[in-house]
Amino acid sequence: MSEKSFVFILNHSFDRPDVAASALQLATNMKAFDIELDFFLINEGVMLAKKGFAETITWQKKDGFSPIKDLLKTLQEFGVRFYVCASCVKPYGLEGAELIDNAEIKPGSFLGEMLLQRQSVSF
């Protein structure tokens, strides 16, 4: 398989669940090819890193995508990492919150570093 690696930049969760599901679905499909792939969560997307939050998103419109909670779980099982924008932690109430497995808080400079090494996909 290709030696390409990707960072998915996800800006949405509860505000646009179909966009979030699209990103997670594409990542799941790509990860099946055993490529290096991780997420950088920013803006409303950071809420997906809060343990239990994905289970509350039940209003997806597109029937063709698996539920966000299932996609997130599959990606975690694949070992995908979810980097949470440090600047978004306080505005979105994640200070002291329990995060999902494979999630950690990182500054925007970390995203910049990843973008120098990887191809990006933004949602």
Give me the domain span that covers residue 84. Answer: 5-122
Q: Is this model's pTM higher than 0.75 or not? A: yes
Contacts with 66 (C-beta within 8 Å, 6 or more apart), sequence order = 21, 25, 28, 74
CATH number at 51 reads 3.40.1260.10
The pLDDT tens digits of the residues spanning 64-117 come to 778 999 999 999 999 999 999 999 999 999 999 999 999 999 999 999 999 999
Q: Please tell me the predicted confidence (pLDDT) of residue 53.
A: 97
Q: Residue 106 forms beta bridges with which residues?
A: 85
Domain count, the chain: 1
Handedness of CA 113, 24, 36, 95 (dihedral sign): positive
SS3 92: coil
Handedness of CA 19, 88, 76, 99 (dihedral sign): negative
